[in-house]
Each structure stands twice: as C-alpha cells, then as structure tokens.
Structure 1
C-alpha cells in the first residue's frame, strides 16, 4: 500500500503565547501541490480524568465556556505545568477544581485531539479512592460539583449536557474499552 505523506518545506510563526502557537507551514501534498497549512501547537500537555467512587458514580463539574457561550458537565481537566508529569498534573487539577484528593491515578489513554491541524495531545486517567479535603481551590472552574450515577452520565451525554470533546472522549473510553478490559 502506498503511503500518502505530506512534505514540509518550512514554517513561520504567526502568533505565539504560553497557551498556543499558530504556525503557517509550507507543505507539499501529493496530487495537490504546495499549500500553506495552519498548525496549532500547544506548549503544555493536556490532561483529563474520569473520577469514580465505590458507588458507581462519576465526579462531574458544571461549567460555562465563554468561547462557545455554553454550559455543561465536564470531567476535571487541565494543563501540565512545565516539567510536570501528566499524572501529577491531573492529580493537582482534580483537587484544585473539585476539592477531592484522588488516592489512585491510572492511565487510560493518550490521544491526539485535533491531529489534522494541531499537536494537542490529551492524557486521560482514571482516578479512584478520593477523599474530600474541602472546597475547591480554584473557584473559577465550576458552578456545581456533583457525583453522578454512571447510568445518569450516559443520559447526560445523549441529551447533549456533556458536549466538551475531552470529557466525552474520556467518559466514552472509560465506559467502553477501559471497563471491558477490566473484565
């Protein structure tokens, strides 16, 4: 089988920050020719976690996203700080966003969120054995924090109340391949 592979002839930075870099790449696409292609690079690793308890519930946060002007349920998520391992980052994020301290963090899956245009890579974890340590440190993250029964989480997704891509991916992976592999 012949592999179609784009060839890069260079790139220039259009915009750069601590959050995102926007590049314009000069690429040659087989059968198409040379084109300019936008590429987003993220300077830090992104993390998500499905946090469960021994009562078959998932910890969700209700938050507003100003970019889409929508509100919905999400799993805890965030970026790793420079030099911080993704597992340590999600442990910190869970505590900061929810007030719950995870006892155990297990990797589930890492994936490229927007592979056609971005280097954004998410590391998804399963967190268990949590204990409540107090109100969330970061009060700007969530309006509500709730333990939701797993069967209700699926309904929320179907109803469109979980519309965040990283949350949908993490929850779907947890409810599907992750749990199936455990049995």
Structure 2
C-alpha cells in the first residue's frame, strides 16, 4: 500500500459509451476522510511517428468535435478489445495513411490526463514506410487529410496552433531531440 493511496469504498457507473465510460468512486483518503472521484475509463490508445525515407513526418488533419475545429496530428487511435498495442499501431498507420512499415519500434507510453482518466497512449516509431494500394480503409466516421512535413514545417504548424495536442507535440519533440530528421 502506498502512503497516498485512496481506498475505493464504492463505484457508481454513470455512463458506458463506445469509447469511454464514466464512473464516480467514493474513496477513503489517507487521512481517513471520504471524498468522491470522477473517473473516465479508456481502453488505451496508440500513436505513430511515421517517418518517410526523405525524413518527412506523416501527419493527418481531421476535425475534432470536442474542440469544434480541425487538428493536425500524428496517426493515432484507440486499442480494440484484446488488441496488442503494436498491432493497433500498425492498423492505425494503414487505416489513416495507407502506409505499412517494415520497422515499428515502441518508443514510450504515457498517461494523458491521470487526474481523471486512465487513458494510456503507446507511442511507436515507424520507419521503412511503403504506400499500399490494398490498404485498410479508415473508419466510416473518420475523415482525414494526409500531410508529409519537415520538422520545421511541423513546428510552424505548432506555432499556428494547428498542431495543438499533447501526443503530437511530444512526438515532434522526440523526433527533434533524437535527431531523427
């Protein structure tokens, strides 16, 4: 037991959707007091840093309803039930970009918002990219535009707030700091 552990007394499911569920937990704090915690449960996700042979980064632009605006992002998506993260990363790369990779490397995993959600994102680096004619098709409710950009162009997209999500900013920083482009 950790000295800051909060013991769950009761869990009340509030909502169960296609992607997330929401619950409210009654917890016992380390000092003996009780409080409530609102928690979002998420199946986990992957994102892919896809680098072309000419050192460009493959990005996708798509509309994000929660923000009421489009964002430019690294290819990404949620894990399907029972799916291994690397398999998911390969699937998402192909669905969103029409590309396959000969070399997929796990880079890092991180929690996106641990104050209220358990979403864990697994980051992969894809090299030896090839376009495929018979690639997987995107989800029926997903509309994306493909982009290939240099690291300088990606950083300009960040300054313009077109790249404005943490996973993509993290991915670009990884690329820059590790001299991959």
Range into which the TM-score falls when normalised by the shorter chain: 0.7 to 0.9
Listed one character per residue, the Cα deviations across residues 49-90 of structure 1 (whole Å, up to 9, x for unaligned) are 110022221001111111211112111001222221101111
> Matches of 1:72 and 1:160 in 2, distance apart?
8
Match of 1:150 in 2: 151
CA RMSD of aligned residues (A): 2.2
In structure 2, what is the equivalent of residue 4 of structure 1? 4
Residues 129/165 of structure 1: CA separation in 2 closer, same or farther (3 Å cut): same
- Is the deviation greater in 88-97 or in 130-139? 130-139
Asked if 1:75 is matched to 2:97, the reply is no
Distance 1:146 1:136 in 2: 18
TM-score, scaled to structure 2:
0.87
User: Could you say what secondary structure the match of 1:156 adopts?
Assistant: helix
Matches within 5 A, 1:166-181: 166-176=167-177, 179=178
Deviation at 1:3, TM superposition (A): 4.2
Measured in 1, the distance between the counterparts of 2:176 and 2:142 equals: 25
- The alpha-carbon deviation at position 104 of structure 1 amounts to 1.1
Displacement of 1:142: 4.0
Give ranges in structure 2 of 5+ residues lacking alignment.
none
Pair 1:74–1:172, CA change in 2 (3 A): same
User: How far apart, in 1, do the equivalents of 2:88 and 2:98 lie?
Assistant: 15
**Contact 2:46–2:78 (CA<8 Å) still a contact in 1?**
yes
The separation in 1 between residues aligned to 2:77 and 2:163, in whole angstroms, is 17
Secondary structure in 2 matching 1:124: strand
Unaligned residue ranges in structure 1 (runs of 5+): none
Stretch deviating more after TM superposition (148-157 or 127-136) = 127-136
Contact residue 61 and residue 144 of structure 2 kept, 8 A = yes
Greater mean deviation of Cα atoms: 164-173 or 114-123: 164-173
**Partner of 2:166 in structure 1?**
165
- The alignment partner of 2:87 has SS state of helix
Q: Deviations over 1:4-53 (max 9, x none)?
A: 332322212111234211111111334582111101111x2200011002
Paired residues for 1:19-168 under 5 Å: 19-30=19-30, 33-42=33-42, 44-134=43-133, 137-138=137-138, 140-168=141-169
